[in-house]
A and B are shown apart, each in its own frame.
Chain A
Amino acid sequence: DAKTTQPPSMDCAEGRAANLPCNHSTISGNEYVYWYRQIHSQGPQYIIHGLKNNETNEMASLIITEDRKSSTLILPHATLRDTAVYYCIVRDSNAGGTSYGKLTFGQGTILTVHP
């Protein structure tokens, strides 16, 4: 079962920041927070991941709370092409673990960016 909770849908105006929340209250010390998105009929696209610290790359920023029980993905200037399903996933990073780094997807958040 997915270990994360996300709102089923969100809207955002083009050019504004999209802030997608995720709750992962049972996250363990070895688990990273990963974000992927999936545009219709395509494979999931990696966005960003983090363990404790906030992270930023060319696509997005990831803000993780100090207790690591929740996080927010920020798309700073959303465009129409950012309309997609966004998945927040916790992933075991333990090389000796039995999860083997597989990703357990939930239902995700459908983000709709409108003009």
Chain B
Amino acid sequence: DTGVSQDPRHKITKRGQNVTFRCDPISEHNRLYWYRQTLGQGPEFLTYFQNEAQLEKSRLLSDRFSAERPKGSFSTLEIQRTEQGDSAMYLCASSFLVNTEAFFGQGTRLTVV
């Protein structure tokens, strides 16, 4: 499968725990995006990487959130001290050029209990 891959697909965690999600973009895509989607809403932009550089972060990305993309390949999104409000679908997308289509992964559904 050569699409965008996200792992895990589902994660249940207790409030206060740390969680980390992984995204493997399409191999030749140098642009990588993270989004968050809550129930009944469209996806909301979180952060953007061009190669290994994180060029933009949304105000939605609080200090408890951190994202990395070492070597410009896969990316990780970590949430520290999770809160119930963090429960959402976390989506990753990648694209080759800014004016070409972005492809999304299937997402990681996080439930904080």
Contacts and interface: CB of A to CB of B under 8 A. Distances in A.
Interface of A: 2, 32, 34, 36, 41-46, 49, 85, 87, 91-95, 97-98, 100-108
Contacts of A85: 42
Name A's interface SS. loop
B99 to A, nearest CB: 4
A33 to B, nearest CB: 12
Given A87-B42, A101-B31, A105-B44, A93 B103 contact: no
Name B's interface SS. strand
Nearest to A93: B99
B48 interface: yes
B101 A100 contact: no
Given A43-B106, A100-B50, A100-B55, A49 B43 contact: no
Interface string B55-99: 110000000000000000000000000000000010101010111
Interface of B: 4, 31, 33, 35, 41-45, 48, 50, 55-56, 89, 91, 93, 95, 97-99, 101-107, 109
A36 B102 CA distance: 10
A92 B45 contact: no
A94 B95 CA distance: 14
A40 to B, nearest CB: 11
A32 B42 contact: no
A85 B56 CA distance: 27
Given A44-B104, A103-B102, 5 more contacts: A85-B42, A102-B45, A103-B93, A105-B43, A105-B44
Report, nearest first, the 10 A-B pairs whose CB atoms are least far apart. Answer: A105-B42, A93-B99, A101-B98, A43-B104, A46-B101, A102-B45, A100-B48, A44-B104, A43-B106, A105-B43
30 contacts: A2-B42, A36-B104, A41-B109, A42-B107, A43-B4, A43-B93, A43-B104, A43-B105, A43-B107, A44-B91, A46-B102, A46-B103, A46-B104, A91-B99, A93-B99, A94-B98, A95-B99, A97-B98, A100-B31, A100-B48, A100-B50, A100-B98, A101-B95, A103-B33, A103-B45, A103-B102, A105-B35, A105-B43, A105-B44, A107-B41
